[in-house]
Amino acid sequence: MALTDEQRITLHGFNNLTKTLSFNMYDICYTKTKEEREAYIAYIDEQYNSDRLTKILNAVADIIGAHVLNTAKQDYVPQGASVTLLVSEGPIVEVPTDSYEESPGPMPDNVVLQLDKSHITVHTYPEYHPSEGLSTFRADIDVSTCGEISPLKALNYLIHSFDTDIMTIDYRVRGFTRDINGHKLFIDHDINSIQNYIPDAVIEAYDMIDVNVYQEHIFHTKCKLREFDLNNYLFGYTKDKLSEVEQQEIAERLKIEMDEIFYGKNIR
């Protein structure tokens, strides 16, 4: 689809708008014993160590057309990891025709665009409840760009890179740029909801809530997995090893934990 004259605006200089996507995900697990908890934390640290996180962020950089200038990564003791990529303008191969459309972004390929003064970061936070046998893993990813494409185009890939029960997604456009006549532009693309950048199959799998402040270019979407299978939340065994009463008690604990994270408050 060719962009119209109204869509393609000639700027004075490069695009000074800063577009930031914050993607937060939670994985929840029932770990009854100290040994199960330690095994879960060790599994998470191995599954999402700094090397794998670096690969994920490099794929994000490819999707948004960034050139990686510098990579800093760290695995922490006793648990957790962080990775930061400083990225800058890459060579122009082609300008995508869907830059201005609300739609799920691509999986990694050879998309390359202009952007400058940008960064991509991830931090992980494994933790556990002191007495109720619940362990959680949280990953926070921020993609901040100054360029034509929105970092929302990386959202589809990020969702598919993590096994997640709950997602909290924020998108904000800050600052302004100018057209050749000096007229300020405070946003350079239409957006009604972050959900428009999420594939239908993912939307069908989650309950979602939107909170948007359109006049401030702030968009917020929360997602909680709809289907609940207890086997997905037990570490090292399946529910057939438990009595019906145990299954119900554990399921209730897990559902409360998910609701509290989703709604952001203690509700017991």
Q: How many helices (H) and strands (E) does the chain have?
A: 5, 10
123 is catalytic: yes
β-sheet with 206-213: strand ranges across: 66-75, 81-89, 118-128, 134-145, 18-30, 166-174, 218-225, 206-213
Marked catalytic residue, from 144, 146, 161, 223: 146
Instruction: Give the side-chain half-sphere CA count within 13 A for 54.
Output: 11
Q: Which of 184, 250, 241, 243 is nearest to 217 (CA)?
A: 184
Residue type for 13, please?
G
Marked catalytic residue, from 50, 118, 144, 150: 118
129 is catalytic: no
For residue 251, the surrounding DSSP H or E stretch is helix 244-263
Give CA angle at 196 (19, 84), nearest 5°.
Answer: 35
> Sign of the C-alpha dihedral, residues 235, 238, 244, 248?
positive
Marked catalytic residue, from 67, 88, 123, 129: 123
CA distance 43 to 52: 13
β-pair partners for 175: none
Cβ-based neighbour number of residue 247 at 10 Å: 15
Q: Which of 45, 76, 174, 73 is nearest to 118 (CA)?
A: 174
β-pair partners for 221: 169, 210
243 is catalytic: no
Residues involved in catalysis: 118, 123, 146
